[in-house]
Amino acid sequence: MNKDDLISVCGAGGFIGGALVADLRRQGFTRLRAVDIKPLHHWYQRFDDVENIQLDLQEKEPCRIACNGAHTVYNLAADMGGMGFIENNKALCMLSVLINTHLLMAAKEAGVQRFFYASSACVYNGDKQKQFDVPALKEADAYPALPEDGYGWEKLFSERMCRHFRDDYGIATRVARYHNVYGPDGTWDGGREKAPAAVCRKVALAKISGKHEIEIWGTGEQTRSFMYITDCVHGTQMLTNSEFVEPINIGSAEMVSINQLVDIAEDIAGIRLTRSYKLDAPKGVNGRSSDNTLIKSIFNWEPSVKLRDGLERTYAWIYDQIVQGKASL
């Protein structure tokens, strides 16, 4: 790519999309189009030297606007959130299939050279995630298909759509299966936040308020791996600019339980909390982490930011948001 090629980032008002636009600017790309359904003042990051557009990408004509003249399109747009959101909003999650479908159609019409789709580890077969201490998920584990209901099915279907637009129409599609991205400038309250941000918020609120208690969803034995935002942004661009065409994991191989995640956040905050467990809360599969054999063999790279290091930065940012009055005690 040339630095003056037009790059369109869809979902740019969100966490990952905003971080991607920031990194592209840092690298010196001069023609950036940022698109999101949210009003501009609700975007997580926004830059005045970028073409910022509010569009509903579930509709076909806005997708044409997003793709017009673009060399590369990054599709990070979706109606999604943490487990509490996706378990209770399956229809909304499924409707995101309209975004990827219409963007692919528009990309074909516009002659887009590269098209990236952000998929998820939620596409993986649920039968392989029933134990807490499970083998890491490799790319082949998506089939036979039994993904997360709603959100996971939409992601898996959209992966197939990318494949067939590549095979039938020659669009150079790239698909990444993200594993739990976290970091500063992300969703941290309101019901759409994921576990690292939720835990950091709860621990920070406990420290500030003096009420040294925390509620944990499920038993706390559920295991996950969590990827820091800089690793996500680097891996996304690396894949998009490569010649590798199959879906690939972009996630950390450092698996921890939710209880261990709380341990780390407590250590960072310098407090110990009394734990209560909400056993009827949404908690997802029992175990999930990223097998990075393929990405290491293809790219000689894998996400490398240690959870403790990333969580320190995330906790500090969320703590500051609370102190600045952006959440109620």
Is 182 catalytic? The answer is: no
3-state secondary structure of 278: strand
At residue 32, φ and ψ (nearest 5 deg) are -120, 130
**Facing residues of 34 across strands?**
9, 52
Chain CA centroid to CA 86, Å:
13
Q: How far apart are CA 174 and CA 100, in angstroms?
A: 13
Q: Are 75 and 117 in contact (CB under 8 A)?
A: yes
**Facing residues of 50 across strands?**
none
Q: Which of 44, 117, 124, 151 is catalytic?
A: 151
What residue type is 245 in one-letter code?
V
Q: Give the tokens for residue 16.
A: 């990952």
Angle formed at CA 107 by CA 102 and CA 108, multiple of 5 degrees: 100
CA atoms within 13 A on the CB side of 292: 19
As annotated, the active-site residues are: 151
